[in-house]
Structure 1
Amino acid sequence: MNKTKNRNYAFYLLSLLGHDVFYFAFTLYLIKFITGPLFDGPDPDFNRIMVGVISSIIVGVRVGELVLDPFLGALIDNTKTRFGSFKPWILTGGIVCAISFVALFTTLGNTNINNPTLYVILFTILFLIMDGSYSLYDIALWSMIPAISTTYEERNKVGTVARLGAGIGQLLLTIFVMPSVILGEGLFGSEQAGWLFFSGIVLVFTWFSAACACFGVTEIVPAEQKVTPRTKFKEVFSTIVKNDQLAWLAVSNWCYYFSLALVSTLMTYYFQYIYGDAASYSAIFGPATLAVVISVLFYPWLTRRFSRKQVLFVALLVMLASLAVLFVAQSNTVMVVIASVLFLAPQPIIFTSFLLELTDTIDYGEWKMGRRNVSLTLSVRPLLDKFAGALSNGAVGLISILCGMTGAATLSSITSHDSLVFRLIMCGLPMLAILVSIVVYNKKFILTTDFHDKIVKELAERNAPSKPGEES
């Protein structure tokens, strides 16, 4: 059993490495490609219009697909194959989302300029395919946590291993994004080609991730999960709403996701138009990303000495401090480095805490409603992430237009007013959202470790086979 667990830890780490390479490439750099080299023609009005249209489509599609994710979670829960419920969707979702991702980093046959209407149609279709297939891949991959761990301690270990792999993936992406774009540009002669080269590297990482999960991880399924009845699609949303701890956690989690997505997406703009050196993004943010890998290693130690709520509260406060430093840093290298480290260090702790709290609501939902919904419950996380990412991507498109950061804009073309407005939005809005997250989590989420342990014990007694002579 120990050999199986160690193998699971190793391959699950590798599967999350490639997953987060894709996630951050999709979340942070697709919009950068769209607002940059995709529309950099001689007509600035046309460029701004197209950036606005595509940004609106991204928001519209991602918001529209919010209702789809819970159904995808129910679909995964209802999938019964000899390979399990999760692996078929990890493999197919990973393959499809990576291919469509690469296609989005092309001009689609130069239709972006020659036939913008056709480009908008094709972009919308491809984005729908990518977003939907990524949701299947993402939900199924994270749903493996309760399938390969059963106790509180094991879930902390798996959560830490998963977040370590994700942190390494984020670190690798941050390090290779700009060098790969520059290399591709040198090899193929244009910045557009450079971004396409970058997307091809992301595809390789994504397929590697899916293969590791499907062929390297062995599920250890608790008995109670095997007898869970199928979830009817008409019961999907009522199942989520009736789980009050899941609902309140979702509100708090979304505020955090929005803050993270907005700041992370705008960070390349900050380096290019505020700090004044786009190439320094990888040079500064890359090494700073080591803080992600280091901090996640301390998570099990922290949760043994402090409650999960205490750990999460402090991590969110550190994130707040990082945004305050970033607001005043501007071109000060030392302050930018400090802000980058403070911003990145708490992320794996916040993410892992929210993820494990979300996983615990699976047991709470079964205890309260008599139904165990693994993927349906965990589909709430990508739903929130997608909603936050949609609003942040839409905001980025509008902010780039508002602050003159589109097309051929340079540092010298950005006024002091533009800089102030940009920093107020980039830092001020996320700070407000994080404060809301803290208040909601501390006031409304009552699923403590002791309460969860009591629930798990009661579920074990409830699901235990009846002894001879007892009523079944």
Structure 2
Amino acid sequence: MSKFLSRVAYACGTFGHDFFYAMIGTYFMIFVTSNLFNTENTSYNEYMIGLVTTVILVIRVAELFIDPFIGNTIDKTKTRWGKFKPWVLSGAVIAAVTLAILFTDIGGLAETSPVMYLVVFAILYIIMDVFYSAKDVAIWSMIPALSFDSREREITATYARIGSVFGGQLVTIIVIPIVLAFSKNSNGGAGDATGWFAFAAIGGLIATAGAIILGIGTKEHASALRENKTDTSFSQVFSVLMKNDQLLWIAFAYLIFGLGQNLINNFNLYYFIYVLGDSSQFSFLGVINVIIGLMAVALFPSLTKKFSRRKLFFYSIAIMLIAIVIYYFAGQNVYLTLLGAGLFALPQPLIFLVVLMTITDTVEYGQLKLGHRDEALVLCVRPLIDKLGGAITSAIVGFTAVWVGMSGNKVTAASITPENLLNFQLIMFAIPFVLLIIATFIYKAKVKLTEEKHAEIVKELERTWGKDNK
């Protein structure tokens, strides 16, 4: 199998994976706040939205402590299909089925038996989140298993990110058309429960198909540098992570950045529904984001060669800060809104790749420093941070939607008061602006693992690892 076809298969897997991630991270909360609880008792609806939001936050934060053990388990997995593919495939199927059920009122329990609904919801969400996490860790941990060269990793990751950008932004294009096509009532552009279930079912099928193509079309390569004399035990898991200082600093900077990025991304559809008052325009944002996202990712290897990863990170943040200002002053101007939102999305895949490549290179950094190699364990930190940031921002989105009067299926743009609009804009724009600046200072001060430094580490490992690991 050619290297090109392998990269394309890998990209198909990340395409479906990021489609699914957008469903969890962005659109599930919109379903919860707009369509899950629609009794005549508004206080009950808001109370249940608050409880569901809290359950999600607690589960996702608690699950963060499980992720490193998932990574450690994947590192120990030995099958004829390799370490990663069994987890990608099983995770895709189980997560898809459970998420589709979560996009319902679970047989009417949401209204008839709130306590039973919350219990069943929590169980299903835990199952979905654990298997999604296993897939997430496995799919992105494959990169260091394919090459030790930073440049080659950048090319492979570029293919992967092209797939993930296309998948993640395709959701933006098709979510409202699918929801409204299957809905019996448009509800001011937010659709109904039937439409949201159809969206979840279609998304689950797309994610599963991508995982199957990845499983068929990729193959990890054996290398002496990937062989450990002893496996990392469960008791050593957190010690390994804590001693890898470069991993911790890039993770911290990425967490702060991700909070700011996700707040705006998760509020985008709310803005189109409740500020612009025209959710149909949201699909245009998806088209714009696909085009500029694919262009940005395709240029990533050239940009890092010209500017280096560090400079690319700083330039990307500067563009996003300008975009936030434009977006804030857009008001109900559709063109300025699309410009601000599109410009904000432009550098996001570039920053993702900078972070992913830096975390990938910390595999060898930790290997040299600690004396053993932990691919999936180290790479689980990036999705772990994504989930932590997603959990926090989902909670903020849920509570903010209730606070500013953007919950329920009877709310329209005309019903939002000027005071609530201002509160919404402060949460959506001011907080992310500050968070992005903080993340930049952390990255500049503490992240020192450059491409040149990584090349030196690999050379040292090639010289010593085979001898030391016998």
The two structures have a TM-score, normalised by structure 1, of 0.96
Question: Given that residues 327 and 424 in structure 1 are in contact (C-alpha distance below 8 angstroms), is that contact kept between their aligned partners in structure 2?
Answer: no
2:445 maps to which residue? Answer: 443
Q: Aligned residues, how many?
A: 466
AA of the residue aligned to 1:128:
I
* C-alpha deviation, 1:340, in angstroms: 1.8
1:359 maps to which residue? Answer: 360
1:301 maps to which residue? Answer: 302
Give matches, 1:131-210, under 5 Å.
Answer: 131-186=129-184, 191-210=192-211
Q: Residues of 2 paired with 1:34 and 1:221: CA distance? A: 45
Give matches, 1:322-333, under 5 Å.
Answer: 322-333=323-334
Q: Residues of 1 paired with 2:70 and 2:12: CA distance? A: 24
1:74 pairs with 65, 72, 75, which one?
A: 72
1:338 maps to which residue? Answer: 339
Q: Residues of 1 paired with 2:174 and 2:3: CA distance? A: 32
SS of match in other structure, 2:464: helix
* C-alpha deviation, 1:214, in angstroms: 1.2
1:28 maps to which residue? Answer: 26
AA of the residue aligned to 2:325:
A
1:128 pairs with 126, 129, 143, which one?
A: 126
1:96 pairs with 94, 97, 120, which one?
A: 94
* C-alpha deviation, 1:228, in angstroms: 5.0
Question: Given that residues 16 and 166 in structure 1 are in contact (C-alpha distance below 8 angstroms), is that contact kept between their aligned partners in structure 2?
Answer: yes
Task: Return structure 1 stretches of 4+ with deviation > 4 angstroms.
Answer: 186-190
1:350-403 per-position Cα deviation (integer Å, ceiling 9, x unaligned): 001100000000010001111110000011111111111111011011101110
The two structures have a TM-score, normalised by structure 2, of 0.96
Question: Given that residues 248 and 445 in structure 1 are in contact (C-alpha distance below 8 angstroms), is that contact kept between their aligned partners in structure 2?
Answer: yes
SS of match in other structure, 2:279: coil
AA of the residue aligned to 2:107:
G
Give matches, 1:415-430, under 5 Å.
Answer: 415-430=417-432
Q: Residues of 1 paired with 2:198 and 2:449: CA distance? A: 46
Give matches, 1:158-307, under 5 Å.
Answer: 158-186=156-184, 191-307=192-308
Relative distance call for 1:17 and 1:334 in structure 2 (3 A) is same
AA of the residue aligned to 1:418:
N
1:47 pairs with 39, 45, 48, which one?
A: 45
1:460 maps to which residue? Answer: 462
AA of the residue aligned to 2:451:
T
Question: Given that residues 67 and 133 in structure 2 are in contact (C-alpha distance below 8 angstroms), is that contact kept between their aligned partners in structure 1?
Answer: yes
- The range that moved more, 316-325 or 231-240, is 316-325
Q: Residues of 1 paired with 2:281 and 2:32: CA distance? A: 21
2:315 maps to which residue? Answer: 314
SS of match in other structure, 1:268: helix
Q: Residues of 2 paired with 1:232 and 1:250: CA distance? A: 23
Question: Given that residues 13 and 161 in structure 1 are in contact (C-alpha distance below 8 angstroms), is that contact kept between their aligned partners in structure 2?
Answer: yes
* C-alpha deviation, 1:463, in angstroms: 2.2
Relative distance call for 1:438 and 1:228 in structure 2 (3 A) is farther
Q: What is the percent sequence identity of the aligned residues?
A: 35
1:86 maps to which residue? Answer: 84
Q: Residues of 2 paired with 1:206 and 1:187: CA distance? A: 27
AA of the residue aligned to 2:448:
I
2:416 maps to which residue? Answer: 414
Q: Residues of 2 paired with 1:168 and 1:221: CA distance? A: 30
* C-alpha deviation, 1:93, in angstroms: 0.8
Unaligned runs of 5+ in 1: none
Q: Residues of 1 paired with 2:416 and 2:170: CA distance? A: 31
* C-alpha deviation, 1:57, in angstroms: 0.5
1:11 maps to which residue? Answer: 9
Q: Residues of 1 paired with 2:288 and 2:326: CA distance? A: 18
Q: Residues of 1 paired with 2:122 and 2:287: CA distance? A: 32
Unaligned runs of 5+ in 2: none
Give the aligned CA root-mean-square deviation in angstroms: 1.7
1:159-185 per-position Cα deviation (integer Å, ceiling 9, x unaligned): 111110111112321111110101111
* C-alpha deviation, 1:410, in angstroms: 1.3
AA of the residue aligned to 1:201:
I
Q: Residues of 2 paired with 1:284 and 1:160: CA distance? A: 22
Relative distance call for 1:289 and 1:416 in structure 2 (3 A) is farther
Q: Residues of 2 paired with 1:217 and 1:228: CA distance? A: 26
